[in-house]
């Protein structure tokens, strides 16, 4: 039987296990990326491993999240990251240079390679035919140390594309359609692989928008084949020597197949407060809008900004809204300027910000109270924008610029003829500020500001675990709910004692205080617990507060891995109806925990106020050893 693209890359990088669906495998990681919000902790963890230099083909340290320097914290972290890069042999992309995923696509990504990133939107690289996976910072630190990355061998979900996108419909709408059909849980346990005659109709930029936004399906990753379009893109970036053709075999088999006729799509939009709350733009047209943002790692490429600029020629931004542009990279800015399109945006009334994530991660750009904000971002979880009870809609650049002109949600097809534009045959590289690795960084001093706290130590679990239910949550709890983002909290990512004060603050402001007072604790939850960002702080900070067990109906992939990495027991209800037996403040016992972890059974007894239920322990033998040690770092030091 033939192989899919994903299976070919996995097979070429397999170092442990067998490629049997549902079994754990270990793969070699060629390249890594970090961003500053997760990177500071990842490098503290890398230092704790104790090796003198990264062992990957290349690793890049980006600063793209914590860009607002309202006090010393972010600026200190930026200096720390630059010194880390110089010491340990990484590329360094400084603040203002752009978003990690956009730059990685432009300057570093290559088909057939594996990429591990401490950001859930790392699958952007799949647009180039990479196997690009988001993970927690500790997993990335281990990869930089030359260790395998472990994952459960996913099933492959084939997405067959036919037809061609019509005017005013973009690649963004392809993934919105998938979210409409499959929901934010539809890709859990799968790699989404695109194939079919429609693939050739999509540029690498289009494909990257799809694989980036595909993270919201809960998928392990998403990827496209590497074809002539891939080669043309790399040639335009003066990197043609890295191109290889990569396609699924004719007799490759997918575990599931879904088909999308791109010719039949029309502009779509995700309504508040989930990326899968998708409807046709025409169904919500006419709603007044006060803010429109174009940018983020999903839609901040030169293609996306050119669509906006060309549409605004001879038009103006509505006076009743703020239209804001967050370019994806310095390269995008340089090429826009050279082509004369920055002037178009300025004349039309757009606000042009520095290249970076900004409002997508709640770093400024919060919308006004009780108003609608349209964004080309990948997430619209409640309060993520920085405004309580926000009304954030997710859409394509075409739909965004239509609203910017009219002041209302508008089907962009109402604007008339689609603008004509072309991308450069050769891009201005825009990479002059990327600092290459030093040949020898052994004499470089690591610069540590006062906000950078030592990595906390965690003890192994006891033989018989006892604790209290600190919180009971519902379905689709995101890592934003567990560990909020925003300009107030993000700068504390390198200070676990300080950031732990905000754990679950969006759900229960008393959580941190109660957790400290009540001792070892458990959190109960519903389906898809921990969806969204890869932020390991959503596991690390609760662990610091004494959360040692999570018992839920189901976990999101990255969050479950992060829980194990920090020694938190990830349990699921054997009978989902037992969720109703759990109440906050209930007393919990797990007898014989260490004995169970040392064995191979996949179920254990949990006593809730003396009443016994059964929970599933769905972990590998390696995970059991990590949990017995109290976390991955403890385990790694002993091995």
Query: How many angstroms separate the CA atoms of 137 and 443, rounded?
Result: 25
Question: What are residue 611's DSSP bridge partners?
Answer: 608
| Identified catalytic residue from 65, 172, 303, 353 | 65
CB 184 within 8 A of CB 216: yes
Burial of 509 (0-12, 13-18, 19+ CB in 10 A): exposed
Would you say 518 and 470 are in contact if contact means Cβ atoms under 8 Å apart?
Answer: yes
Where helices occur in 98-213 by DSSP H, the ranges are: 100-103, 137-144, 171-182, 204-213
| Helical (H) or strand (E) element with 258 | strand 256-261
Q: Give yes or no for a contact between 294 and 397, defined as CB atoms under 8 angstroms apart.
A: yes
**What residues contact residue 16 under an 8 Å CB cut-off, 6+ apart?**
25, 26, 148, 150
Residue from 384, 493, 535, 543 carrying the catalytic annotation: 535
Which of 220, 150, 183 shows the shortest CA–CA distance to 6? Answer: 220
Q: What is the DSSP letter of 107?
A: I
Which string of b and e fits 417-428 if b means at least 16 CB within 10 Å? Answer: ebbeeebeeebb
65 is catalytic: yes
The candidate with the shortest Cα–Cα distance to 504, out of 539, 454, 549, is 539
**Closest by CA position to 368, among listed 348, 391, 349:** 391
Q: Rounded to the nearest 5°, which phi and psi values hold at 229?
A: -60, -40
Give me Rg for the CA atoms of the chain: 24
Catalytic residue, candidates 373, 396, 533, 534: 533
Beta carbons of 191 and 219 less than 8 angstroms apart: yes
Which residues face 160 on adjacent strands?
A: 195, 259
Annotated catalytic residue: which of 30, 36, 64, 173?
64
In the three-class reduction of DSSP (H, G, I as helix; E, B as strand; rest coil), residue 25 is classed as: strand
- The answer to whether residue 261 is catalytic is no
Helices (H), 527-620: 537-545, 557-565, 593-598
Q: Is 344 left (phi over 0), alpha (psi -120 to 50) or beta?
A: alpha
Whole-angstrom distance, CA of residue 471 vs CA of residue 59: 38
Q: What 3-state DSSP class applies to 136?
A: coil
CB atoms within 10 A of CB 458: 18
**Measured distance CA(193)–CA(636) in Å, rounded:** 33
Q: Which residues contact 282 (CB under 8 A, 6 or more apart)?
A: 266, 267, 411
Q: Is the separation of the CB atoms in 209 and 298 below 8 Å? A: yes
CA distance 228 to 231: 5
Distance CA 38, CA 116 (A): 13
**423: which DSSP letter?**
-
Q: Residue 75 burial by CB count (10 A; 0-12/13-18/19+): exposed, middle or buried?
A: middle
Known catalytic residue: 379? yes
Coil, strand or helix at 347: helix
The catalytic residue positions are: 64-65, 119, 379, 533, 535
């Amino acid at each position: 039987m033939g192989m899919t693209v994903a299976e070919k890359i996995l097979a070429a990088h397999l170092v442990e296990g067998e490629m049997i669906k549902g079994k754990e495998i270990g793969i070699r990681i060629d390249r890594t990326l970090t961003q500053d919000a997760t990177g500071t902790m990842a490098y503290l963890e890398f230092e704790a491993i104790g090796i003198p230099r990264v062992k990957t083909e290349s690793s890049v340290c980006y600063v793209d999240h914590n860009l607002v320097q309202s006090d010393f914290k972010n600026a200190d972290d930026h200096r720390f990251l630059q010194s880390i890069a110089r010491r340990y042999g990484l590329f360094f992309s400084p603040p203002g240079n752009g978003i990690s995923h956009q730059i990685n696509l432009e300057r570093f990504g290559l088909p057939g390679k594996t990429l591990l990133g401490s950001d859930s939107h790392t699958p952007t690289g799949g647009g180039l035919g990479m196997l690009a996976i988001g993970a927690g910072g500790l997993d990335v630190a281990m990869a930089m140390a030359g260790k395998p990355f472990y994952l459960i061998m996913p099933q492959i979900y084939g997405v067959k594309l036919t037809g061609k996108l019509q005017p005013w419909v973009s690649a963004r709408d392809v993934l919105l359609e998938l979210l409409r059909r499959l929901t934010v849980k539809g890709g859990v346990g799968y790699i989404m692989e695109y194939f079919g005659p429609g693939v050739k109709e999509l540029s690498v930029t289009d494909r990257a928008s799809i694989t980036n936004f595909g993270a919201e399906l809960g998928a392990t990753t998403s990827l496209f084949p590497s074809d002539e379009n891939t080669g043309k893109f790399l040639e335009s970036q003066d990197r043609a020597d890295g191109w290889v053709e990569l396609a699924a075999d004719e007799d490759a088999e997918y575990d599931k197949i879904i088909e999308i006729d791109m010719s039949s799509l029309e502009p779509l939009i995700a309504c508040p407060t989930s990326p899968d709350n998708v409807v046709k733009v025409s169904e919500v047209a006419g709603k007044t809008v006060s803010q429109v943002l174009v940018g983020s790692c999903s839609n901040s490429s030169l293609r996306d900004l050119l669509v906006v600029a060309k549409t605004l020629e001879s038009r103006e931004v509505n006076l009743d809204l703020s239209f804001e542009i967050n370019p994806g990279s310095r390269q995008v800015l340089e090429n826009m300027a050279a082509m004369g399109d920055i002037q178009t945006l300025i004349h039309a009334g757009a606000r042009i910000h520095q290249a970076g994530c900004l409002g997508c991660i709640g770093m400024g750009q919060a919308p006004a109270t009780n108003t609608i904000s349209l964004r080309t971002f990948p997430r619209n979880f409640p309060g993520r924008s920085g405004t309580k009870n926000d009304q954030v809609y997710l859409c394509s650049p075409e739909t965004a610029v239509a609203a910017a002109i009219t002041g209302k949600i508008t089907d962009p097809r109402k604007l008339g003829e689609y603008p004509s534009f072309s991308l450069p045959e050769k891009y201005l590289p825009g990479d002059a500020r990327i600092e290459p690795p030093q040949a020898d960084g052994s004499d470089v001093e690591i610069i540590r500001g006062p906000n950078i706290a030592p990595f906390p130590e965690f003890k192994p679990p006891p033989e018989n675990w006892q604790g209290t239910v600190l919180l009971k949550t519902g379905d689709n709890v995101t890592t934003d709910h567990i560990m909020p983002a925003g300009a107030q909290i993000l700068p504390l990512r390198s200070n676990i004692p300080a950031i732990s004060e905000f754990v679950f603050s969006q759900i229960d402001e008393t959580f941190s205080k109660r957790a400290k007072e009540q001792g070892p604790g458990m959190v109960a939850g519903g389906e898809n617990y921990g969806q969204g960002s890869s932020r390991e702080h959503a596991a690390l900070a609760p662990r610091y507060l004494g959360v040692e067990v999570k018992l839920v109906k189901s976990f999101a992939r990255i969050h479950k891995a992060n829980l194990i990495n920090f020694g938190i027991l990830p349990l699921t209800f054997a009978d989902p109806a037992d969720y109703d037996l759990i109440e906050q403040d209930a007393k919990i016992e797990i007898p014989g925990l260490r004995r169970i972890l040392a064995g191979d059974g996949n179920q254990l007894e949990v006593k809730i106020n003396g009443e016994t239920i059964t929970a599933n322990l769905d972990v590998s033998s390696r995970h059991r050893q990590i949990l017995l040690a109290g976390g991955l770092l403890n385990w790694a030091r002993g091995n």
